Structure 1
Amino acid sequence: MTLSQLQRSQKAYICTLPDNFDLSSKLIEQGFALKTEISLAHKAPFNGPLAFNLHGTKMCLAPNVAQQIGIEIV
């Protein structure tokens, strides 16, 4: 399952990051590290950005980036 498939308020753990090293590095700097608990806060309409709760804050990702992050449901 990927981060883009997460339902609102459903909790999961990040288990894989994108293969692209530069993108993975940027995500890790923003807090999207392996084994991090994450939940979907908001999904913008018309394929807009997705807002996630992690580390006590909200972070947004584009849907195409969220599709590259693997998760495991809690």
Structure 2
Amino acid sequence: MIKTSLKETQLQLIFADGVDQEGEPQFVIDRFNTIQPEVTDDVLYQAAQKLAALTTQEIVAVHRSNDYELTYEEEGAS
């Protein structure tokens, strides 16, 4: 049986950063790598909004990335 364990959570804030010479939108991504994995999505989103309020750039997205470890555990083993 395969067991999954949440190991790390990363928060990414994506901000608008103008347009390039061709008129394509440009973005800046701020990453926070030391997020406690057990933090709920609601709490993480609220924190992202508070961080975004401290900047002059417009926030366009909030991403959460979770890394899991997959391990094999034999049936009946503890």
> Which has the larger helix fraction?
1
Name which structure has the greater RCO, CA cutoff 8 Å, separation 6+: 2
Q: TM-score, normalised by structure 2?
A: 0.26
- The higher radius of gyration belongs to 2
- TM-score calculated relative to the size of structure 1: 0.26
The structure whose residues are more often strand, as a share, is 2
